[in-house]
Amino acid sequence: MKVLKHKAFARLILSYLVSQAGSKVHRVALLVLVYLLTENALWVSLVLGVQLLGTVVFSPLLSAWADTQDRKRLLVWSDLLRAPLVALIPLLGAKSLPVLLLLVFLMELLRDLHDPIQNAVVPDLVPKEEVDEANSLILLADRLSEVLFVGAAGVLVAAVGPAFAFYLDALTYLASGLLLTGLPPLRPERLPKAGYLERVKEGLGHLLRHPTIRRAVGTLFAAACFGSVETALGVVLAIKWLGVGSAGFGFMEAAMALGAILGGLALPYLLKRLPRERLFLYALFLFGLFEASMGLFPVYAWVLVAFFLGGFLNMAFIVPARSILQLNTPQEMRGRIFAAFSAVMNAAVLTGTMLGGALEGQIGAPMVFLLAGVMVSLAAGYVLLTGGIPAPRGEAA
């Protein structure tokens, strides 16, 4: 990909791939650890809910300060500080669920600082016409780490337990932070004149005032309120309903990642044929259909296929969504916009995660997947039928 000729962006991608290699292993280990300790889907939802709550409450607050700082320095330290925290999970968190929740929460705060900045700096490291390709490559690195490590993580956790996965993640955060020290300074082009609280309001306000962003984020919010049940119930579906254990869950996640990699590779060709705003809606609509199909046909072979296709479609709506935000936001506000976006989206994911955990005991995971997928498709279909999403000024609709 030609976007890698930009050395600073290539360094950003490499650091992200390194940290995600450990994080994907960590994710499987954390979900399996909690479920095996409690044998309760509601506890899985609670752990995920603590992560999401940190993002919803603190991400906009952190970003209003971060937008006045050198973004390179914040990227480095948010990685280096996560290394000791994740290493404490097998040492302390596995012995006490309250301590585990605290460690998960602290790590989420650092992620809430890091991830919006990473998204915000992409247009500073590549030309405008390469933003879609750059966003695609970031998500491709994420999915590649899932293919390479998540399936292996399921087998590893089943064989030797989750502790090694957490130590591996700690090492990758350390390596990622050191790699990021080679980035150029990433200071804001101009310092905002507004006070701190006004900057917090500006981030959330831009999501509501800008017609293109409002329509895109509103669609994703409605879809995520339901589609995110997979976050909590994927492991439950694998262990309780399909009987394939943690190894089977790891391969489900890897299938989704493989689909996402192919989706990332196909994205440039798709964007040549469809405007990013329309591709976003089509992909989200189809994603809902395949999520619903897992409830209709809760058979492991089909679930693997549905996860694979879901991964492909996930790339086809997430990459355009990121580009829509970046290309419709001033440089000095991007950190706040992505933090506000994360807060809004994680509020939706928190809703879906807790809803899924509560409903699983009442109607079972397959029925939850069916209902959730139908609602995702309805959200995307409604926007398609009511005018779609406006393109940025100067671009074809």
385 has a pLDDT exceeding 60: yes
- The pLDDT score that the predictor gives to residue 397 is 41
- The pLDDT score that the predictor gives to residue 93 is 73
Please provide the distance, in angstroms rounded to a whole number, between the alpha carbons at the two ends of the chain. Answer: 26
Q: For residue range 140-161, what is the model confidence (pLDDT) as tens digits? A: 777 777 667 766 666 766 776 6
Q: Rounded to two decimals, what is the model's pTM?
A: 0.69
- Specify the higher pLDDT residue, 213 or 26: 213
Q: For residue range 347-360, what is the model confidence (pLDDT) as tens digits? A: 787 788 778 878 88
- The pLDDT score that the predictor gives to residue 235 is 84
299 has a pLDDT exceeding 70: yes
The tokens describing 355, both together, are 């809803």
Q: For residue range 208-266, what is the model confidence (pLDDT) as tens digits? A: 888 899 999 999 999 999 988 877 788 889 988 999 987 888 788 888 878 988 998 89
Which contacts qualify for 2-5: CB closer than 8 Å, 24 or more apart? 2/130, 2/133, 3/126, 3/130, 3/133, 3/134, 3/137, 4/137
Neighbours of 171 (CB within 10 A): 16
Query: What's the CA gap between 218 and 379, in Å, rounded?
Result: 9
Distance of CA 135 to the CA centre of its chain: 13
345 has a pLDDT exceeding 60: yes
Q: For residue range 73-125, what is the model confidence (pLDDT) as tens digits? A: 999 999 999 999 988 887 887 677 788 888 888 888 888 888 888 888 888 88
- The pLDDT score that the predictor gives to residue 108 is 82
Query: What's the CA gap between 285 and 389, in Å, rounded?
Result: 14
281 has a pLDDT exceeding 90: yes
Query: What's the CA gap between 72 and 83, in Å, rounded?
Result: 18
Work out the average pLDDT over 306-326: 92
